[in-house]
Structure 1
Amino acid sequence: MSPATGSSDKKQSASARVLGSASAGICEIAVFHPVDTISKRLMSNTTKVTNLTALNQVIFRENAGKPLGSRFFTLFPGLGYAACYKILQRVYKYGGQPFANEFLTKNFKSTYEDLFGAKTGKALLSATAGSMIGIGEIVLLPLDVLKIKRQTNPEAFKGRGFFTIIKDEGFGLYKGWGWTAARNAPGSFALFGGSAFAKEYIYGLTDYTSATWTQNFVASIFGASSSLIVSAPLDVIKTRIQNKSFESNESGFTILKNMAKNEGLTSFFKGLTPKLLTTGPKLVFSFALAQTLIPAFDNLLTK
């Protein structure tokens, strides 16, 4: 798989795209769920962290005084929701973007090439396809909401199970969908576009699917870093909307206003450094793995 599937790229089967992206999602959740929990708790924190003691309190909360081994195992809340969400998300995002790219290439390739040139046009087609897929990702929002609440606000569940929450909350689980779409559009544009530009201009690849693991890995670093930086402010607002209790009706604009007033403009980039150091490798890992596994599965299935 590659972020671009223009006319010069080999087209993989749908089965290969599903298998490759699902495998990447499974590997990602197995390795990085504790890291994701830390990142979400840092973004949800509204106090200043000035020392290691305060940082320990933010990350481990009521378990801050426990031994290190015990504290580590408290970083796995919401694992079931996370697994369902992450695997479905990666299949949809990594497996779906090539289909969107093929549609755009078929219908708008000449327009992009006329405006931006052949090489840049191809990379921008990939970025645009990524943005389209990113917006549609809000379909999976309820699972993301439940995962984040389990990680940052477990008392919101009040002993209720999955199906009870679905029944009780209904469309309330789509709270923050507009901010999620607003974050995903530029974030996914930068993810797929950054990777495509790296393959195009650093490695000079005409068939992105022929990239080696190393090339996929380096290209994914460019894409993931761009995505996290571009989407950081909206991601903080989205996380704060989703981590509140189910009864809360505080809007994203209210959160934005209060953050600017009480925490300053730098608050919109809270957690960016640890996110680049934690979520960044997670995204690089899964993106590069998917781009490598999808062509591998395609070769295996067509033999």
Structure 2
Amino acid sequence: MDSFAAGAIAGVTEVLTMYPLDVIKTRSQLSTGKNMGIIASFNNIVQHEGVGRLYRGIIPPILMEAPKRATKFAANDMWGQFYRKLFDVEKTNQSLSILTGASAGAMESFVIVPFELVKIRLQDKKSAHLYLGTMDCVKKIVKQEGALALYNGLEATMMRNITWNAGYFGVIFRVKAHLPEKPEILNNFIAGAIGGCVGTVLNTPFDVVKSRIQNSSRTSSSSSKYNWSIPSLFIVAREEGFWALYKGFVPKVLRLGPGGGILLVVYNVLMEFFRK
């Protein structure tokens, strides 16, 4: 229960700090043309749509971050205990840290898909006029596409989260092994930030196609270009070039690099507080 609460608070702290970068990242991933840089995108949104647009769609992530990050850390602890017992290993090693991270990522995906889908729809500039807000977006998706449409992109989300969590927790284990025990907070930030960067390198292509899959309407009168992650990867690479799979990488890594450090620091500080 402590790891669940600590993960929830850490997640909300991270999203409140880094959310504008997520808006810029999503806009970049949904664009099929040439993207502007971060500063240019930021200025363009502020000048033409207002500062508030940088926080449009933040309600789903706030509602999502508590169960998402809580599930991430609690599931990572749970799977760690399970795999140590399964393989009769006393302490977690590099291989187990990757395996537990991947398993936690898969479990986390089932929690977050509806929130991610609504967030994507609200962040997209082209569809911004269609929805008055979070609940209006949910109602219209369910009415026009059916309740199961809220789980569009589940497979792509699992691929994204498995790769990120495996990289994140695997790198944290390795980096911490090479750092001195003190200062603990700084070490956690360094390990978490490096883990966040590596996880982002690994999972950005899946994040790009996930965004496009979830932004595709599933009405009976329309067929979607993007449906499953692997075929969608080939479609994007063929039509836009390989590097299009890394659209939105810079704002994403700027968010999830430091964000990964913030997550680990807040989580460990809270866990120590709960233990005391």
With the shorter chain as reference, the TM-score category is 0.7 to 0.9
Cα shift at 1:194: 0.5
Q: Cα deviations across residues 16-53 of structure 1 (Å, max 9, x unaligned)? A: 21221121122122222222111211222211136789
- Structure 2 CA distance, aligned partners of 1:163 and 1:186? 28
The 5 A counterparts of 1:177-192 are 177-192=154-169
Q: Cα deviations across residues 128-147 of structure 1 (Å, max 9, x unaligned)? A: 11100101122121111111
Secondary structure of 1:65's partner?
Answer: helix
Cα shift at 1:173: 1.4
Instruction: Structure 1: give runs of 5+ residues left out of the alignment.
Output: 1-13
TM norm structure 2: 0.84
Residues 289 and 51 of structure 1, relative CA distance in 2, 3 Å threshold: closer
1:104 to 83, 89, 106: 83
Residues 296 and 143 of structure 1, relative CA distance in 2, 3 Å threshold: same
Cα shift at 1:246: 4.5
Tell me which amino acid in the other structure corresponds to 2:128: P
Q: Number of matched residues?
A: 265
- Structure 2 CA distance, aligned partners of 1:127 and 1:179? 19
Aligned to 1:129: 100
The 5 A counterparts of 1:134-213 are 134-140=105-111, 141-152=113-124, 153-157=127-131, 161=136, 164-165=139-140, 167-168=142-143, 169-203=146-180, 212-213=184-185
1:227 to 188, 199, 205: 199
Cα shift at 1:186: 1.9
CA RMSD, 1 decimal: 2.7
Instruction: Structure 2: give runs of 5+ residues left out of the alignment.
Output: none
The 5 A counterparts of 1:42-61 are 42-49=28-35, 55=41, 60=45
Cα shift at 1:291: 2.5
Cα shift at 1:65: 3.3
What is the identity percentage for the equivalent residue pairs of Structure 1 and Structure 2? 25
Cα shift at 1:249: 2.6
Greater C-alpha Rg: 1
The answer to whether the Cα contact below 8 Å between 2:131 and 2:137 also exists between their aligned partners in 1 is no
- Structure 1 CA distance, aligned partners of 2:38 and 2:83? 49
Tell me which amino acid in the other structure corresponds to 2:120: I
Task: Indicate the structure whose relative CO is greater, using CA pairs within 8 Å and at least 6 residues apart.
Answer: 1
- Structure 2 CA distance, aligned partners of 1:166 and 1:48? 29
TM norm structure 1: 0.78
Tell me which amino acid in the other structure corresponds to 1:83: I
Residues 215 and 143 of structure 1, relative CA distance in 2, 3 Å threshold: same
